[in-house]
Amino acid sequence: MTHDPAAPLAVFTVSLGCPKNLVDTERLLGVLGPGMVPTDSVAGADLALINTCGFIQPAVEESVAAILDAVREADEARETTGRRPLVAVAGCLVSRYGQDLRDELPEVDLWLSTDQIALWPGMIGKAIGRARIIATPGIGDAPRRLSTGPAFAYLKISEGCSHNCRFCTIPAIRGPHRSRPKDALLAEAHTLAASVPEIVIVGQDSTAYGTDLGGDNTIRNLVAGLAEIPGISWLRLMYLYPAGLTDDLLGFLKSVGEPLLPYFDIPLQHAHPDVLASMGRPFARNPRKVIDRVRNHFPEAALRTTFIVGYPGETEEHFDQLMRFVEETRFHHLGVFPYWPEDGTPAAAMPHQVDQETKLARRDALMALQADISREIMESHVGQTLPVLIEDPSPEWPGLHLGRAWFQAPEVDGTTYVAAPPDKPLTPGTIVQAEIDKADTYDLSGLV
């Protein structure tokens, strides 16, 4: 398929899964510009790009559904206009299933696996006849076309993972842990800070940053450098593995102060030592220790975590201890996932698999407990004046804006709704002081 190389390139994109995937999509879009024009429909596109997730079965199903939708819409466009957009599928699903996926979906025009990421521009350019794109060396340090709006941007500091958790497909899909050099990250962050006030650091294990590079490429030096960049009002660390949160590192983070937020996203996955050991987690001891350690340095910390329920061999006793742990710890934010036996992982072959009904019941029970905790935490903010980062005006209510307090990470936590007089609309990407007058289970409402 070829197009006029001088004509604008209309591109439809869907980016599924984690923020790290989204960064890849944004970099690729940056490479395709400046002649790239985003479109919100496959029918109006020259290129339809689906960047997939293949981490667990629900993500696989979501990705396959998105591919099928894109193929169907591309075929319909050919029937009505005589011209079919090129359908390209990228990301983790391609890397995980390879030739099997190609055989099942021959309607897809181009497959882009994660181990070919440096070749994506050339492959796309060749497929659509764009010589300039073919000549692009890769997307590693390419300028990004942000898709997250004027309030925040993700900064992906590493790729892959070198842990050996027995339930996880990431090392097989994305390879071992590989850090991006500190100087390249700081240069990218300078560019991002000119557009957005919040930088969200993401990686499969952010505490492992730089361990594969040596020199001054350390999480300390990176955070210290980011904290000095003008324009960054909020700096948020995500994906902090428990084993990496030492007293030494926490003491350093405390010394950084603003703009670093006292927000800790710590994927614990369980609370019982037997289950943690069976999972092969790098922190297989009592998780209370790491929570106590964080709160010793940051009494005001907002804590987010994720748990897996129904892991092979998880008993009612194990689950009851997890419930007690959540009740006593009082996380600000918590995600719960029923265990999925993923092909190729050691856990899938373990005995004592838990039935699906039990897994879902445990997920619902844990989320119900967390809902009560979250509501109490949210209600504690009523009457307070909080800084809120404005993201978007409400599409339904004039004068109402969607934003986030400092303890609400983008896309995964709740929302703070801020009302302003209709004649004084708030500007997305700015931080305002809002008086909180209402709380729901996960959200807040306030006035300026």
Write out the binding residues for [4Fe-4S] cluster: 18, 53, 92, 161, 165, 168
Please give the helix or strand (H or E) that residue 307 lies within, else none. Answer: strand 302-309
Furthest C-alpha separation in the chain: 66
Q: How many residues does the chain have?
A: 448
The three-state secondary structure class of 413 is coil
CA distance 437 to 44: 44
The three-state secondary structure class of 231 is coil
CA distance 52 to 112: 10
CA distance 283 to 272: 11
Residue 50: closest CA among 130, 132, 8, 107: 107
Instruction: Quickly list H helices, 33-155.
Output: 57-81, 92-104, 120-128, 131-134
Angle between helices 247-256 and 219-227 (to 10 degrees): 10
CA distance 194 to 189: 9
The token pair that represents 118 in the structure block: 């440096």
The token pair that represents 217 in the structure block: 């490429």
| Angle 361-364-369 from CA coordinates, rounded to 5° | 125
298: which strand partners? none
CA distance 112 to 102: 11
The token pair that represents 159 in the structure block: 């790729």
Q: Summarize the annotated binding site as residue ranges.
A: 18, 53, 92, 161, 165, 168
User: In this structure, are residues 206 and 219 in contact, taking their beta carbons and an 8 Å threshold?
Assistant: yes
Tokens 């809120």 correspond to: 388
Residue 160: closest CA among 95, 204, 112: 204
Query: Which amino acid is located at 291 in the chain?
Result: I
> Residue 218: how many CA atoms within 13 Å on its side-chain side?
9
Whether residue 38 is preceded by a cis peptide bond, meaning omega within 30 degrees of 0, is: no
User: In this structure, are residues 238 and 199 in contact, taking their beta carbons and an 8 Å threshold?
Assistant: no
Strand 385-393 versus strand 400-405 pairing type: antiparallel
